[in-house]
Amino acid sequence: MVIWGIDKLVNVEHGLEVSKHFYLDLFSSTTLLKAFGVLQIILGLAVVLGWLRGFAYPVLLLITGATLIGVWRSVVDPWGWYLEGGNVLFYPSLIIFAAAWVLYCFREDDTHALDRDRR
């Protein structure tokens, strides 16, 4: 999340191309992409620090799930042998979503989270 957010702030043109190619041009606004970039950085830091996990982890799941849906061709056929638009660089989206799911499922076991009850 942090890296994706920084990319949206530093290289807005890349974000516009990603929006156009993978998300039906829905997010093709420089202002919107920069706002998303800031929010992604905040979300990424919240996840890393274990802060507001009840909010951060579900949002992380939604974002990584939407990304997974957006690049599904690359997950099913990463080399583009059968489906047009596959790209092996996006195959890890499945792994990132799985990692977010593991974080969510085991959130009660986070021993170093900032929002953990310290009784």
What rounded mean pLDDT belongs to the chain? Answer: 89
Model confidence over 2-58: pLDDT tens digits? 999 999 999 999 888 888 877 777 778 889 999 999 999 999 999 999 999 999 999
Residue ranges covered by each domain of the chain: 1-49, 50-119
The length of the chain in residues reads: 119
Of 56, 48, 41, 45, nearest in space to 113 by CA: 48
Element (H, E) at 97: helix 93-105
> What are the structure tokens assigned to 92, written together?
């890890």
Q: Is 0.85 surpassed by the pTM of this model? A: no
